[in-house]
């Protein structure tokens, strides 16, 4: 389990997909890319999709993701993406009242229980008091991290 903090963009891509019955059907899919700007996000998803899709595809939308960090799993069975809302608990020293700050994460896992386990695994290594407020499966197909290009 590893977590990556970056600037993430959700991209909507539409293309003709070959169905099991042999027909082609236009399908919309959501992918996440690591980029510095909307322009770079479009460039990155176009580059990534051209190696997966034979034929034409359209980038239908790009939005900055509400999560700032992604928890990646090393398990081969972890083929789903869950959006998790965590609340960090702090104590206001002046008023001595509990304060909760919500933060969103994207978590790779095979199922709901594995997503919760992955969150606890990453967050357990911190000194932060937190509560898992919600975990929901998303329609995200894949996440493309930024990788440095090899020279030469």
User: pLDDT value at position 19?
Assistant: 86
Taking CB atoms within 8 Å and a gap of at least 24, the contacts of 13-16 are 13/45, 13/49, 13/57, 13/58, 13/59, 13/60, 14/57, 14/58, 14/60, 15/49, 15/53, 15/55, 15/56, 15/57, 15/58, 16/55, 16/56
The most confident of 1-5, 18-22, 26-30, 122-126, by mean pLDDT? 26-30
> What pairs with residue 152 in β-bridges?
none
Check whether 47 has a pLDDT greater than 70.
yes
Which carries the bigger pLDDT value, residue 24 or residue 78? 78
Nearest Cα residue to 121 out of 57, 51, 83, 74: 74
Check whether 150 has a pLDDT greater than 60.
no
What's the mean pLDDT in 7-17? 94
Check whether 1 has a pLDDT greater than 50.
yes
Summary mean pLDDT of the chain: 90
Rounded Cα–Cα distance for residues 19 and 7 (Å): 34
User: pLDDT value at position 21?
Assistant: 94
pLDDT 10s digits, 66-91: 998 999 999 999 999 999 999 999 98
Q: How confident is the model at residue 5 (pLDDT cuts 50, 70, 90)?
A: low
Domain ranges of the chain: 2-144
């Amino acid at each position: 389990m590893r977590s990556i903090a970056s600037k993430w963009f959700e991209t909507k891509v539409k293309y003709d997909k070959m169905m099991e019955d042999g027909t082609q059907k236009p399908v919309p899919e959501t992918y996440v890319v690591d980029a510095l700007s909307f322009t770079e996000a479009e460039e990155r998803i176009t580059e990534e999709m051209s190696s997966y899709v034979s034929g034409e595809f359209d980038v239908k939308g790009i939005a900055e993701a509400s999560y700032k960090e992604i928890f990646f799993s090393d398990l081969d069975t972890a083929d789903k993406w869950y959006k998790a809302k965590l609340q960090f608990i702090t104590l206001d020293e002046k008023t001595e009242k509990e304060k909760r700050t919500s933060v969103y994460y994207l978590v790779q896992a095979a199922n709901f229980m594995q997503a919760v386990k992955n969150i606890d695994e990453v967050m357990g290594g911190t000194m932060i008091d937190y509560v898992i407020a919600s975990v929901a499966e998303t329609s995200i197909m894949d996440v493309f991290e930024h990788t440095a290009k090899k020279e030469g």
